[in-house]
Amino acid sequence: MNHSQRETLCASLPLNPLLDAELAGYQWARNHVGLSGAAIYHLYGKADAPELFLKHGKGTVANDITDEMVRLNWLQAYMPLPTINHFSRTADEAWLLTTAISGKTAFQMLEDYPDDRGDIVDALAVFLRRLHAIPVSHCPFNSDYPFRLSLAHTRMVNGLVDTDDFDDERHDWSAGQVWDAMHTLLPFPPDPVVTHGDFSLDNLIFADGRVMGCIDVGRVGIADRYQDLAILWSCLGEFSRSLQQRLFQTYGISHPDSNKVQFHLMLDEFF
């Protein structure tokens, strides 16, 4: 996805009189990266003002945006994150306005600097180790696989799983087939850490050769470390097998658990 596909210019949204006045002078663009269900807007181009991102959603998406706001507030004590400028919630809608982290996504870096891909993956692994080093006892959020399986089952029975978006390995599978295949990989010994939940290349921002921070933290919580490793490993497969291997080596795992990788990739199909 090139830059023109990632964003398209759009009109501003009316929010409330105070916020509308604060946002006057910004250019607005609709951001098309990600599948969260939220409408995401990039606000930029205002003199002497920071770039911003606005998320808006209704119904269950409003709940997801609220979850992200709560986790942003907590995780800022440990990791570099966007700053919350404004949050509003009604019974059915939510709006979250945050600062932007300057830089390029890890995906853009890997595309734009092919000779530096090894160093980019190393930086991602180091950043992930930093996240996973947060004491579990400090984290108030649970995202372990029994909890996420219950959410996945609810989404499946309510017809909310987008089977057209399944990974190539599961092309033409039904949600039920993925559900059954996933359970053949259980049980496995838990290895709980504080996880991001969607540690993908578009959620990690680079500048000056290092990871400057992460975004989209609405799934942060205690889970097996492979929740993050599996998603990043899968993303790197778009570039090369050697980068996938390098991720585990730099992270410090000499013999990756393929069952855990596959389980977490199948679990992610439901969200």
Secondary structure string (H, E, C) spanning 71-108: HHHHHCCCCCCCCEEEEEECCCEEEEEEECCCCEEHHH
**Helix, strand, or coil (residue 256):** coil
198 carries an active-site annotation:
yes
Phi-psi region of 149 (alpha: psi -120 to 50; beta: other; left: phi over 0): alpha
Q: Among the options 198, 216, 224, 268, which is catalytic?
A: 198
Task: Give Cα separations from 112 to 78, 106, 117, 157 (angstroms).
Answer: 29, 10, 9, 41
DSSP secondary structure string for all residues of 185-246: T------EEEE-S---GGGEEEETTEEEEE---TT-EEEETHHHHHHHHHHHTTT-HHHHHH
Comparing CA positions, the residue from 257, 207, 266, 259 lying closest to residue 231 is 266
Q: Hey, which residues are catalytic here?
A: 198
